[in-house]
């Protein structure tokens, strides 16, 4: 993989590496929302929400359209959720394994 591509991929991952942006995307999963709606739904102030939305828009992860004085944001790249699914599934499996290792401490010998 070329260095350019590597940088692009890293950039994409970084974009998803912020809990607040993940929460924005999660909100948008239900459908398009205005900035104000997102400000209310999450507990952020307006400039911060706008900033993160601008970043997501620049990264091509969300689209937007005007509706009067409002701006409606929406998911433009559902790949995001595939990625999150993968990571979540993995995290769940990992924590389950950790739990089993802790509860079945000392590798108790089960028959077979």
Partner DNA sequence: TCACTATATCGCTATATGGTGATATTATCA
Partner DNA sequence: TGATAATATCACCATATAGCGATATAGTGA
Smallest distance, DNA to C-beta of residue 64, A: 6
Residue 102, token pair as written in the block? 């802790």
Task: Identify whether the C-beta of residue 46 lies closer than 8 Å to the C-beta of residue 35.
Answer: yes
Non-local CB neighbours of 103 within 8 Å, separated by 6+ positions: none
Position 96 contacts its own copies (CB under 8 A) = no
| Out of 48, 65, 79, 101, the residue judged to bind its own copies by CB under 8 A | 79
Site for its own copies in 59-78 (CB under 8 A): 60, 77
- Which x/- pattern over 37-56 shows residues binding its own copies (rule: CB under 8 A)? --------------------
Position 58 contacts its own copies (CB under 8 A) = no
Position 7 contacts its own copies (CB under 8 A) = yes
Residue 94, token pair as written in the block? 């990992």
| Out of 86, 96, 99, 101, the residue judged to bind its own copies by CB under 8 A | 86
How many of the other CB atoms lie within 10 Å of CB of 4? 8
Position 65 contacts DNA (CB under 7 A) = no
Residue 7, token pair as written in the block? 């940088």
């Amino acid at each position: 993989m070329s260095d350019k591509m590597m940088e692009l991929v890293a950039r994409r991952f970084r974009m998803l590496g912020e809990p607040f942006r993940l929460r924005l995307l999660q909100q948008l999963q239900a459908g398009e929302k205005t900035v104000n709606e997102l400000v209310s739904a999450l507990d952020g102030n307006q400039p911060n929400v706008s900033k993160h939305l601008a970043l997501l828009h620049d990264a091509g992860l969300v689209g937007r359209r005007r509706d009067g004085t409002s701006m409606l944001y929406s998911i433009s790249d559902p790949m995001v959720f595939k990625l999150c699914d993968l990571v979540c599934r993995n995290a769940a499996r990992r924590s389950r394994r950790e739990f089993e290792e802790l509860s079945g401490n000392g590798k108790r010998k089960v028959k077979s």
